[in-house]
């Protein structure tokens, strides 16, 4: 087993992310059919998916080490996590998520003031495209007038519910968009494990929008992509932009096609 080394400042956050990494691995392991990785289907299995020893063997690591990884007691190199991720059939986005969860330092979080000063005015430059500025938890920092016309005024909800996923679900946004945003929030929740606000948002989503529970429970992650949706009766494409180059700062915008 590889010992985990963390600084006192980063210790609590790193430990929380390691627990999330273990939970992700357990969830993804259950989704892999043995036959898909060349293992026989026969025999009685107590649970779905791969056994720990099977995943460890296919990844080229010891069972003891892999067990420690799932239990949050071991760290891993990027190369080893990539090997595990490939067996789990994760794409590059999913494997990068595993690597970020294993990193000793927390992701950087920019102050809200920087968001507003540098990017808030950009939203108004898209008068026909609903757009929202999001922080690292996907809470809404600012929206434009087009967002209000299409998906309602966030100011009409109490502050705790001004989260992009909660608001889009309340507005009955297209399923493709909800799924893409839900995957991004799942990743944010993993990376910022232990953040009280993350826990609060998760509880609100479960209580108010239980249909999203499947994505949450299976810990689905992935690239946002370019989901095609219908916007005021016209085809449109949604985009998640990171204009500063930092993944913790994002703008969600839906633009009409053509």
Give the model confidence (pLDDT) of 163-184 as tens digits: 999 999 999 999 999 999 999 9
SS3 252: strand
Q: Are residues 23 and 44 in the same domain?
A: yes
Residue 204 CB burial class (10 angstroms; 0-12, 13-18, ≥19): middle
Q: Are residues 12 and 75 in the same domain?
A: yes
pLDDT at 4: 38
Instruction: Look at residue 142 and tell me whether its pLDDT is greater than 70.
Output: yes
Asked if the structure places residue 3 within a domain, the reply is no
Instruction: Look at residue 216 and tell me whether its pLDDT is greater than 60.
Output: yes
Q: Under a CB-based contact definition with an 8 Å cutoff, are residues 210 and 225 in contact?
A: no
Q: Are residues 148 and 65 in the same domain?
A: no
Contacts of 150 (CB under 8 A, 6+ apart): 130, 171, 231, 232, 254
Q: Are residues 15 and 44 in the same domain?
A: yes
Contacts of 236 (CB under 8 A, 6+ apart): 129, 228, 229, 230, 254, 255, 256, 257
Q: Are residues 150 and 240 in the same domain?
A: yes
Question: CATH number, domain at 36?
Answer: 1.10.260.40
Q: Are residues 170 and 91 in the same domain?
A: no
Per-residue pLDDT band for 107 (boundaries 50, 70, 90) equals confident
Asked if the structure places residue 29 within a domain, the reply is yes
Quote the longest CA-to-CA distance of the chain. Answer: 61
Q: Under a CB-based contact definition with an 8 Å cutoff, are residues 21 and 88 in contact?
A: no
Neighbours of 61 (CB within 10 A): 18
Q: Under a CB-based contact definition with an 8 Å cutoff, are residues 89 and 36 in contact?
A: yes
Residue with tokens 């357990």: 26
Asked if the structure places residue 70 within a domain, the reply is yes
| Domain final residue, candidates 57, 82, 102 | 102
Q: Is the pTM of this model over 0.85?
A: no
| Domain final residue, candidates 102, 126, 151 | 102
Q: Are residues 30 and 144 in the same domain?
A: no
Q: Are residues 98 and 122 in the same domain?
A: no
Choose the weakest-confidence range: 105-109, 160-164, 166-170. Answer: 105-109
Q: How many domains is the chain partitioned into structurally?
A: 2
Asked if the structure places residue 66 within a domain, the reply is yes
Asked if the structure places residue 169 within a domain, the reply is yes
Q: Under a CB-based contact definition with an 8 Å cutoff, are residues 118 and 35 in contact?
A: no
CA atoms within 13 A on the CB side of 219: 19
Q: Are residues 118 and 85 in the same domain?
A: no
Asked if the structure places residue 107 within a domain, the reply is no
Neighbours of 211 (CB within 10 A): 10
| Domain final residue, candidates 69, 102, 135 | 102
Asked if the structure places residue 2 within a domain, the reply is no
pLDDT digits (tens, 9 = 90+) for 33-64: 998 888 886 667 777 899 999 999 999 999 99
Q: Are residues 88 and 150 in the same domain?
A: no
Asked if the structure places residue 30 within a domain, the reply is yes
Instruction: Report the C-alpha gap between 113 and 110 in whole angstroms.
Output: 8
Residue with tokens 């003891």: 64
List the domain range (segments joined by +) for residue 89: 8-102
């Amino acid at each position: 087993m590889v010992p985990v080394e963390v600084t006192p400042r980063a210790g609590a956050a790193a430990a929380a992310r390691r627990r999330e990494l273990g939970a992700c691995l357990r969830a993804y392991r259950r989704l892999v059919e043995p036959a898909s990785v060349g293992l026989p289907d026969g025999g009685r299995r107590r649970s779905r998916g791969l056994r720990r020893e099977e995943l460890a063997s296919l990844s080229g690591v010891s069972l003891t080490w892999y067990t420690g990884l799932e239990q949050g007691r071991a760290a891993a190199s990027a190369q080893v996590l990539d090997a595990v991720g490939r067996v789990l059939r994760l794409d590059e986005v999913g494997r990068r998520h595993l690597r970020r969860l294993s990193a000793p330092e927390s992701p950087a979080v920019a102050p809200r003031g920087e968001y507003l000063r540098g990017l808030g005015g950009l939203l108004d430059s898209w008068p026909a495209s609903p757009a929202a500025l999001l922080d690292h938890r996907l809470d809404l920092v600012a929206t434009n007038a087009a967002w209000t016309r299409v998906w309602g005024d966030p100011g009409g909800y109490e502050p705790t519910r001004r989260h992009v996923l909660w608001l889009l679900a309340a507005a009955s946004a297209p399923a493709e968009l909800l799924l893409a945003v839900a995957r991004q929030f799942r990743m944010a929740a993993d990376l910022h494990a232990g953040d009280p606000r993350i826990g609060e948002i998760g509880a609100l989503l479960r209580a108010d929008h239980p249909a999203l529970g499947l994505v949450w429970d299976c810990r689905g992650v992935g690239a946002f992509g370019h989901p095609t949706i219908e916007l005021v009766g016209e085809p449109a494409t949604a985009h998640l932009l990171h204009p500063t180059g930092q993944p913790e700062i994002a703008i969600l915008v839906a633009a009409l096609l053509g």
